[in-house]
Amino acid sequence: MPCCCNSPDLPPEANKAKCLAGVVLGLSIFTTFFIFIPPIWTSGFAGMLGIIATSLIVCCASDKPTQGANHSCQYMGCAVMSAICALLHFIAFCECVSGLLSTGSAAFSLSNMAHSESEQYDEYDDTLREDCLVRCAGDDVCENSCFEMYGHAVVAGVSGAAAGFVGFAAFFVFLLVLLEASLVLLSILLSVASVKARKKIRIKVTAAPAVVVTNTVAAVAMSGPSDFYTLNDAAKAAGSGAPTVVMAVPMGSAA
């Protein structure tokens, strides 16, 4: 059985669109969870719309288009919705970039604060650090120095831990930036590929087949002038797998 990206009955443009749709579908399922994260909720909506858009050609469009069911509308629908997804993902991308700048700046500030407080703590004499309050008992000036020293140590520790946490958050946001940028690009490519696939499918299905004269002649009953039979369909009707000359005969007429 041919892969969904390599159907011999579809033009290359349609196979390419289906391949892109499969990738976007997987990422869209993942991004639907972002709807619960207020800063990037637009990505969640884009994910849900992306599932619908890609399903139109991955699940609904036939791998063997015919005149009666060429599913070109599914490709057009996928193209339009993918374009909307690209816009929503771009909005989420801008939000993620803003978040990355904010978290990166916060992590940098906290790191500088931790470094500064640590340097101030290191300025105190080593002998003062050991049992400071015990040594300075009864000396108000010395006790204040102890409290200042311990304060620098605490602030340095807390700032360092906060800088690490915010730095990890910034890294996570950076991954979101890459994800949203990828989805913007993939959604645009899918939209363009779907439009091209729609055109190629319509051309392939509606183009008149080349008539090859053989010894087999099929008389095909037509219920109306709008009926359409491809060369292969006529060959099957005649009971032969070879190309067939088609003679269109209205219903009730003799061939």
Question: Is 60 a domain residue?
Answer: yes
Binned at pLDDT 50, 70 and 90, residue 75 comes out as confident
The predicted model gives 54-63 an average pLDDT of 82
Residues 148 and 244 placed together within one structural domain of the fold: no
**Are 221 and 99 found together in one domain?**
no
Reduced to 3 states, what is the DSSP secondary structure of residue 11? coil
Above 50 in pLDDT, residue 77?
yes
Calpha distance 24→212 (Å, rounded): 42
Count CB atoms within 10 A of the CB of residue 27. Answer: 17
Q: Are residues 93 and 139 in the same domain?
A: yes
Same domain for 74 and 55, yes or no, is: yes
Please give the Cα distance from 243 to 230 (Å, whole number). 10
Query: Is residue 6 in a domain?
Result: no
Residue 211, domain member (yes or no): no
In a domain, 178, yes or no: yes
- Both 32 and 104 in one domain: the answer is yes
Residue 207 phi/psi, 5° resolution? -65, 140
Buried b (16+ CB within 10 A) or exposed e, 157-172: eebbebbeebbebbee
Per the domain annotation, does 130 fall within a domain? yes
Concatenating the DSSP letter of every residue in 159-226 gives HHHHHHHHHHHHHHHHHHHHHHHHHHHHHHHHHHHHHHHHHHHHHHHHSPPPP---S-EEEEEESSTT
pLDDT-based confidence at 233, cuts 50/70/90? low
pLDDT at 124: 65
User: In terms of domains, do 173 and 234 share one?
Assistant: no
* Span 79-122, pLDDT tens digits: 999 999 999 999 999 999 999 999 999 998 988 888 888 877 77
Same-domain status, 35 and 120: yes
* Residue 49, domain extent: 12-206
Same domain, 96 and 26: yes
Q: Is residue 5 part of a domain?
A: no
Would 4 be classed as within a structural domain?
no
Using CA atoms of 98, 104, 110, 116 in order, give the dihedral in degrees to the nearest 10.
-130
**Residue 129 and residue 110 share a domain:** yes
Same domain, residue pair 245 and 197: no
Q: Give the total number of structural domains in the chain.
A: 2
Is residue 224 scored above 60 in pLDDT? no
Position 190 scores a pLDDT of 94
CA 143 to each of CA 42, 123, 137, 149: distance values in angstroms, whole numbers, following the listed order? 55, 16, 7, 10
pLDDT digits (tens, 9 = 90+) for 156-209: 888 889 988 999 999 999 999 999 999 999 999 999 999 988 888 766 555 434
Query: Of 44, 51, 134, whose CA–CA distance to 89 is shortest?
Result: 44
- Are 193 and 222 within one domain? no
pTM for the model stands at 0.67
Within a domain: residue 196? yes
Q: Break the chain down into helix, strand, coil percent, rounded to 5.
A: 70, 5, 25
Looking at per-residue pLDDT, the higher value among 41 and 60 belongs to 41
Q: Rounded to the nearest 5°, which phi and psi values hold at 238? A: -85, -5
> What is the average per-residue pLDDT within 12-21?
88
127 in the same domain as 227? no
